[in-house]
């Protein structure tokens, strides 16, 4: 690899990196999700921003998915960037059964 390739490669990788504030916000949302839904510390919790292409949808939304020890997958969205999410944006704990992700719901909206 020559120095031009290394520089180009570094710039490409840099375009995928996120700021420390963004990464801290993701970690905080993951922590709040574990606490809210009484998940194990090592439970898989994913928080990611996605761009929504559906008319009327916010341009950036945060999608949170988590799995319980039994292997059930749960998912919900918060209609704002992850850095703007506050703890009160998460669904209340008693809504957990309604957050089960059954896969394709047959719609393009969610």
pLDDT in tens, 59-74: 999 999 999 989 999 9
What is the span of the domain harbouring residue 46? 19-99
| Interval 81-97: pLDDT, tens | 999 999 999 999 999 99
> Is 108 a member of any domain?
no
Q: What Cα–Cα distance (Å) separates residue 55 from each residue in 17, 52, 58, 67, 104? A: 28, 8, 9, 30, 20
> Is 11 a member of any domain?
no
Q: For residues 88 and 5, give the distance between their C-alpha atoms in angstroms, rounded to a whole number.
A: 46
Give the chain's end-to-end CA distance (angstroms, integer). Answer: 43
Once rounded to an integer, what is the mean pLDDT over residues 92-105? 89
> Is 55 a member of any domain?
yes
Domain containing residue 25: CATH number: 3.30.160
Domain total in the chain: 1
Q: What angle do CA 11, 16, 22 make, to 5 degrees?
A: 125
> Is 8 a member of any domain?
no
> Is 104 a member of any domain?
no
């Amino acid at each position: 690899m020559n120095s031009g390739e290394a520089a180009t490669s570094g710039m490409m990788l840099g375009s995928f990196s996120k700021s420390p504030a963004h990464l801290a916000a993701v970690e905080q949302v993951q922590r709040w999700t574990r606490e809210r839904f009484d998940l194990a510390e090592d439970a898989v919790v994913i928080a990611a921003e996605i761009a929504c292409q559906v008319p009327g949808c916010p341009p950036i939304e945060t999608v949170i998915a988590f799995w319980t020890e039994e292997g059930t997958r749960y998912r919900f969205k918060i209609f704002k960037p992850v850095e703007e999410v506050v703890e009160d944006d998460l669904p209340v704990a008693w809504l957990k059964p309604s957050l089960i992700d059954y896969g394709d719901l047959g719609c393009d909206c969610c």
